[in-house]
């Protein structure tokens, strides 16, 4: 999944696809959490859960260069930096930074966000490989599979 084409169109497309997949994974995490707690899907629960995670994810992206060289190493490094900060920000927002609930939320956040982020990045990788294979078949004059 490494984008190594020096910022050409394909690399930008891969970075954009990874960013969209990451946003989708973080929003899915928000939705699952709201649903598991039986909260209404209204602005309050959505914002207090999505803003710290999605906001910090993209705010710190230039620092870690997670989209300059989208790959597993940069994803895991960025995730390891952002997740504790996002959990802390969210817990401050809800008014319980230090509690047993914070520990449980931290563990659930680590587990679920990583699973959703990996799933999204795998989807990007599969699509890119499929498109690359299709493009190679066309350029070689062979019919598409």
Q: Which tokens is 35 given?
A: 């649903």
**CA-based Rg of the chain, rounded to a whole angstrom?**
18
d(CA 142, CA 35): 48
Residue 50 has what pLDDT? 94
**What integer pLDDT is reported at residue 10 of this predicted model?**
67
The owner of tokens 């997670």 is: 66
Which residues of the chain register pLDDT less than 50?
A: 2-6, 136-145
> Residue 69 contacts by C-beta under 8 Å, 6 or more apart in sequence?
2, 3, 4
Note the pLDDT of residue 54: 97
Task: Provide the pLDDT for residue 101.
Answer: 84
With beta carbons less than 8 A apart as the criterion, state whether 82 and 55 touch: no
């Amino acid at each position: 999944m490494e984008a190594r084409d020096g910022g050409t169109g394909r690399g930008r497309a891969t970075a954009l696809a990874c960013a969209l997949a990451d946003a989708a994974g973080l929003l899915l995490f928000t939705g699952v959490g709201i649903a598991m707690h039986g909260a209404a899907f209204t602005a309050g629960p959505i914002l207090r859960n999505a803003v710290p995670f999605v906001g910090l994810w993209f705010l710190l992206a230039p620092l870690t260069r997670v989209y300059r060289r989208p790959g597993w190493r940069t994803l895991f490094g960025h995730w390891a930096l952002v997740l504790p900060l996002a959990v802390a920000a969210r817990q401050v927002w809800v008014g319980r930074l230090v509690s047993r609930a914070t520990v449980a939320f931290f563990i659930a956040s680590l587990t679920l966000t990583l699973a959703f982020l990996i799933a999204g990045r795998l989807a990007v990788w599969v699509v890119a490989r499929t498109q690359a294979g299709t493009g190679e078949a066309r350029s070689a004059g062979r019919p598409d599979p």
